[in-house]
């Protein structure tokens, strides 16, 4: 059975969904970026439904400023209070849970890696953790150097250069 839940976090209201099940290991799904708790194309909602049907309780929430939650989305580096509040609410709503697993994709994975322990999460599953913040729209310097080296080894690039055209055509 699925239940909608609201709870507080630093003066804001967070929205969550609990897929109830009798299992003692629960899964806390942490959404990343601006993705809402249902996930892309309801993927996380369907995952939660399927896991609950096999006995695993699942809790999903929208962090501050995302989806149905109020406040400003400050990104994954400011999401520790949200994660702590969500884990506490999950345990309150499913007191039979003895072990909590956190699952996150992209910057949600980074949130779990950084703050999962302080939220009392026992184990984490990280998918594609976010490890850097972009500084501009350019590719990394190593990619630029590799691309120039590739073009300089191409005889067609030399022909274009002799004719006064860019050797980085089709970048």
Vertex 39, ends 33 and 40: CA angle to 5°?
Answer: 95
Q: Is the pLDDT of residue 168 over 70?
A: no
The pLDDT > 70 percentage for the chain reads 91
Phi, psi of 59 (to 5 degrees): -120, 130
Mean pLDDT, rounded, for 79-88 = 98
pTM: 0.76
pLDDT, tens digit, for every residue of 49-83? 999 999 999 999 999 999 999 999 999 999 999 99
Long-range contacts for 152-161 (Cβ within 8 Å, ≥24 apart)? none
The pLDDT > 90 percentage for the chain reads 65
Beta bridge partners of 117: none
pLDDT number for residue 149: 80
Q: Is the pLDDT of residue 89 over 70?
A: yes
What does the block give as tokens for 1?
């059975």
Q: Is the pLDDT of residue 171 over 50?
A: no
Q: Give the 3-state secondary structure of 68-121.
A: CCCCCCCCHHHCHHHHHHHHHHHHHHCCCCCEEEEEEECHHHHHHHHHCCCCCC
The 10 Å Cβ neighbour count of residue 144 is 13
What does the block give as tokens for 107?
């910057």
Mean pLDDT, rounded, for 147-164 = 77
pLDDT, tens digit, for every residue of 15-32? 999 999 999 999 999 998
Average pLDDT in the chain: 89
Q: Per 3-state DSSP, what percentage of the chain is helix, strand, and coil (rounded to 5)?
A: 35, 20, 45
Token look-up 């190593």 returns 142
Sign of CA dihedral 150, 153, 155, 158: positive
Contact (CB, 8 A) for 27 and 44: no
Mean pLDDT, rounded, for 79-95 = 98
pLDDT number for residue 128: 83
Contact (CB, 8 A) for 28 and 86: yes
Domains of the chain as residue ranges with CATH: 2-127 (3.40.50.1820), 135-171 (no CATH)
């Amino acid at each position: 059975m699925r239940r909608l839940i609201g709870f507080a976090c630093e003066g804001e209201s967070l929205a969550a969904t609990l897929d109830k099940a009798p299992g003692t290991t629960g899964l806390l799904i942490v959404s990343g970026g601006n993705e809402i708790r249902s996930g892309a194309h309801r993927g996380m909602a369907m995952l939660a439904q399927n896991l609950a049907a096999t006995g695993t309780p699942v809790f999903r929430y929208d962090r501050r400023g995302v989806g149905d939650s109020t406040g400003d989305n400050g990104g994954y580096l400011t999401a520790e209070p949200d994660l702590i509040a969500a884990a506490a609410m999950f345990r309150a709503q499913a007191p039979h849970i003895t072990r909590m697993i956190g699952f996150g994709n992209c910057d949600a994975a980074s949130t779990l890696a950084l703050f999962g322990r302080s939220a009392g999460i026992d184990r984490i599953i990280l998918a594609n953790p976010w490890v850097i913040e972009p500084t501009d729209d350019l590719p990394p310097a190593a990619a630029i150097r590799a691309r120039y080296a590739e073009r300089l080894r191409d005889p067609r690039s030399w022909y274009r250069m002799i004719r006064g055209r860019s050797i980085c055509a089709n970048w």
